[in-house]
Amino acid sequence: MTNNILGSLILLACVGCTLGQAADQIVVPGDVDGDKIVSAEELQKAEDGCNAGKITSEELAMIRMIHDSYPRTFTDSSGKEIDIYKPISRIAVLTTEDYEILRTLNATDRVVAASKYVVLSREMGSGDLYADGSGYINIGSPTSTVDWEALIEANPDIVITYMTSPKPEDLAQNLKETNITVIRWDSGNISQYLDIVKTMGYLLDRNESADEYCRFFEDKLGRYLNAASDLSVEQKPRVYLEADFGGGQTYYTCGSGHAHNALIMAAGGENIFADLQGFKQVDPESVAILNPQVILRYKYLKDSPGIEKSLDDTAALKGLRDEMLSRPELNRTEAVQDGMVYVFTWDCTKGGGRFYLGMGYLGKWLQPQMFNEYDPRQVYQEYLEKFQGADVDVINQGVFVYPEA
């Protein structure tokens, strides 16, 4: 009698899971007592249920796998410890960087919903970079408006998003009636990138793909970055980074704790405003006083990321560089005197595969000898073909930086 009841409960748990019902409790196949963990006793009951014909052998295999491998515990980039109690089969992804990681891990068959930047790749200016994503449910933008109804209707197990967008309170409020697990990744932070790839490989049972990709990264770019990390402060040029988000506001820069400071450091530069915290506007006088040897400026451009531009269509970036060179307060800095002023698109600062471009060019500007043999376009092309399956030519087209090395 007791066995029958248990068997029925297991069956109910399986059915509940199969239907993907939205509830305030995650339903784990085989979990009878509601602790989201399949104990040895519950596994035994499931086996009994299978023998009695109440559940199928496939369902039993799933329950056994959950018993053996779950819960899986990890910490996301926001420092939150997260438990995953069952295999992830439905994913909503709000960031392009993490969508690329899912492609790298061959896990896009589990994606059910994505941001508008993936779903509407061409309309959002990314050409065919995410052409494979047009069939997903469009859940909007993580930084402006998430389509909460579409997200909930997609009924994902997890939603992957940025560190601070959407706001935690918005996510908590809008998803409180669901069992969607929120994972925040800082994939634009070079120091976390490979760990994120490995963690996602672990969560999605794609460890081999993750390892293969990490080897590729180390071979193509990582070894240069490792060499740069061994440089002493004296060997690194002083760098001023101007983060240009338009609106005529200049002299915004990034200090410690900001991913773009990490980019400079990783590429072998010394940020003159590393002492500042986060994203700040600084006094123009202080830039002149600190006399940078290299000036970097990135800007979001309307036709960014410029992936479909012809190679000689550099007017927009050249204009930004010329404006920088024309600022009287900077024209006695070593950077301006030596012509070491470089402009790149904001997209190059994004993580994922953009590291091959952004980090690569930074390395070539900041440590030209060390990165002498590195070819950003070539490596990025290789990445796109080998891990992304994207039919995009970034060797014969695309404008990302000015001037190129």
Partner 1 sequence: MIPRVFYKDINSDLRVEYQKFVGRKVLFLISLIAGTILLAGYAATRGSADLSITDVYVTIAARFFPGRFQTTWFSDTIVWGLRLHRIFLAVVGGMALAIAGAVMQGILKNPLASPFTLGIASAAGFGAALAIVMGAGFVGGEYLIIANAFIFTILASMAVYGLAKYKGISPETMILAGIAIMYLFSAMTSFLQYVGKAEQVQEVVFWMMGSLGRSSWDKVWIVTIIVAICFPYLLLRSWDINALGAGDETAKSLGVNVERTRVFCMMLVSLITASVICFTGTIGFIGLVAPHITRMVIGGDHRFLLPASALVGGLLLLAADTVARTILSPVILPVGIMTSFLGVPFFVYLFLRRKNALW
Contact positions toward partner 1, by CB under 8 A? 124-125, 141-145, 245-251, 273, 276, 280-286, 288-289, 300, 302, 304, 328-329, 332, 346
C-alpha 161/C-alpha 168 separation (Å) is 11
Residues facing 297 on adjacent strands: 242, 343
C-alpha 370/C-alpha 379 separation (Å) is 16
Structure letter (DSSP) for residue 395? S
User: Are 394 and 380 within 8 A, CB to CB?
Assistant: yes
Rounded to 5 degrees, what are φ and ψ at 276? -75, 160
Residue 86 identity = K
Between 70 and 117, name the residue whose CB sits nearer to partner 1.
Answer: 117
Residues facing 342 on adjacent strands: 296
Nearest to 366 by CA among 281, 272, 288, 246: 272
Between 181 and 261, name the residue whose CB sits nearer to partner 1.
Answer: 261
CB of 144 to partner 1, least distance (A): 5
CB of 247 to partner 1, least distance (A): 3
Between 162 and 371, name the residue whose CB sits nearer to partner 1.
Answer: 162
Between 83 and 323, name the residue whose CB sits nearer to partner 1.
Answer: 323
Helix axes 96-104, 190-203, angle to 10 degrees: 50
Between 98 and 157, name the residue whose CB sits nearer to partner 1.
Answer: 98
Nearest to 188 by CA among 396, 10, 353, 16: 353
CB of 175 to partner 1, least distance (A): 20
Between 2 and 144, name the residue whose CB sits nearer to partner 1.
Answer: 144
CB of 143 to partner 1, least distance (A): 4
Between 142 and 269, name the residue whose CB sits nearer to partner 1.
Answer: 142
Between 135 and 328, name the residue whose CB sits nearer to partner 1.
Answer: 328
CB of 264 to partner 1, least distance (A): 17
Distances (CA, A) of 345 to 64, 113, 116, 243, 314: 49, 27, 20, 10, 11
CB of 255 to partner 1, least distance (A): 9
CB of 122 to partner 1, least distance (A): 13
Between 115 and 192, name the residue whose CB sits nearer to partner 1.
Answer: 115
Tokens of 13: 């748990």
User: Are 85 and 71 within 8 A, CB to CB?
Assistant: yes
CB of 309 to partner 1, least distance (A): 16
Q: How many CB atoms lie within 10 A of CB 58?
A: 10
Between 191 and 281, name the residue whose CB sits nearer to partner 1.
Answer: 281
CB of 64 to partner 1, least distance (A): 44
User: Are 25 and 182 within 8 A, CB to CB?
Assistant: no
CB of 21 to partner 1, least distance (A): 32
136-144 — which CB contacts under 8 Å span 24+ positions?
136/111, 136/112, 137/92, 137/112, 137/113, 138/113, 138/114, 139/92, 139/94, 139/113, 139/114, 139/115, 140/115, 140/116, 141/94, 141/115, 141/116, 141/117, 142/94, 142/95, 142/115, 142/166
End-to-end CA distance of the chain: 76
Instruction: Please give the biggest Cα pair distance in the chain.
Output: 88
Between 246 and 368, name the residue whose CB sits nearer to partner 1.
Answer: 246
CB of 320 to partner 1, least distance (A): 12
Residue 288 identity = A
